[in-house]
Structure 1
Amino acid sequence: MPTIAIVGAGPGLGSSLGKIFGRHSYDVALVSRSKDNLATLAAGLAEHGVIAEGFAADVADPASLTAALEAATARFGRIDVLEFSPYVGLVQVFPAEVIVDNLAPAIQEILHNTLADQGIYAGVVAVNAMISDNAPDGYPAIAPDSLAQHYWDLHTQRGQAELVLPA
């Protein structure tokens, strides 16, 4: 089976990604700091028939992250999809300051085009909203399950280097 490694896995987007990729016969390697949270996430995915296992790592420590990904590779055979979205805290950015140039689209496009020649797809999902099923009134939000579907579509269609949401 193919495998997705979700770095920064949590109960919102990480869980939703695990469910949608798991429904398409992917094994799921969950990477996060907390072993307890990983066990809870893996058990929740198992309830949906998804084969998942957690690998603890501090993404700020390259050796720790490398060890977790190596352990996931040893467990599942290889990693076919790498999703990297660790939560680093909420950073306030005023809407007038959020422009496409801030997202480094040139780098994303170069990475996308360069790796395509090697059969590797690289895509970026830029989310300019709270990822939540119940955001406070007045805040732009996208539900984790809806966002996970966008990731799946981007992965399977492989047509663009960047997807900005909400559109």
Structure 2
Amino acid sequence: MTTLAIVGAGPGVGAAVARRFGAEGFDVALISRNQAKLDALAAELGEEGVTARGYAADVLEPASLNTALNAAAAELGPIAVLQYSPSVDRRYLKPVLETTAEDLHAALSFSVLGASTAVHAVLGGMRALGRGTLIFVNGGTAVRPRTDFAGTSVAFAAESAYTQTLHEALARESIYVRQLIVPGGISVDDPVTNPTAIAERIWGLHATRGEFREFHTPL
């Protein structure tokens, strides 16, 4: 079976993406910190016909993230698509003059080091398959920094630089790196920014090849 791994899986966009890829025959590895919530989501998806399993891991703990992704590949099959979209901690959303070096270190560990750990955990399997898609979902501060959201402004920009270099380096191996910028918030009542609409856009990033970066709505 072909496996999608979602780092940062939850009941909103993560669940919608799991359903969208599951409808295309993907098994789904759900990764976040809370095993009980993952198990409940996996059971819910299972009732809808999607094969899903939960693997608890923290992106700030490389060993746990490696263990989760390796277990998912062993149990569900090689990971052909990785979505990296962990929920942002409020501590990364402080004004720049209140943001310390420790805050920035944590934000960079979350956005860049966690992303790098996830990429290297799945890259060997994608190379063995001869294909793969790495999808990174970021907010608008990735391309337009805000003084009141210093942590994400710095860390998302660094993640963008890292992933764009991956895009250029891996395309020759048929491993494609895509970034989706979702400016503003996600609203379940909005026909454009609800989780199902965003999941459809993420499916399109995998199914069709285009530029590295796309915007879900205009910035």
Q: Taking structure 2 as the reference length, what is the TM-score of the superposition?
A: 0.66
Report if the CA contact (8 A) 2:4-2:82 is conserved: yes
Residue 52 of structure 1 is matched in structure 2 by 52
Instruction: Say whether 1:100 aligns with 2:143.
Output: yes
Change (3 A) 1:86 1:106: closer
Residue 68 of structure 2 is matched in structure 1 by 68
The CA deviation at 1:156 is: 0.7
Change (3 A) 1:98 1:17: closer
Report if the CA contact (8 A) 2:8-2:84 is conserved: yes
SS at structure 1 position matched to 2:180: strand
For this pair of structures, how many residues does the alignment match?
159
Q: Which has the higher helix share?
A: 2
Residue 181 of structure 2 is matched in structure 1 by 126
Q: Taking structure 1 as the reference length, what is the TM-score of the superposition?
A: 0.86
Report if the CA contact (8 A) 1:129-1:142 is conserved: no
**2:57 & 2:213 partners in 1: Cα distance?**
27
C-alpha distance after superposition, 1:38-73 (max 9, x if no partner): 011101211221000000111110000000001101
Change (3 A) 1:70 1:99: closer
RMSD: 2.2
Change (3 A) 1:162 1:134: same
Structure with the bigger RCO (C-alpha within 8 Å, sep 6+) is 1
Report if the CA contact (8 A) 1:12-1:132 is conserved: no
Instruction: Say whether 1:2 aligns with 2:45.
Output: no
C-alpha distance after superposition, 1:60-108 (max 9, x if no partner): 1000000000110110121000001111225378xxx958365466554
Residue 138 of structure 1 is matched in structure 2 by none
Unaligned stretches of 5+ in structure 1? 136-140
The CA deviation at 1:145 is: 0.5
Unaligned stretches of 5+ in structure 2? 96-139, 146-156
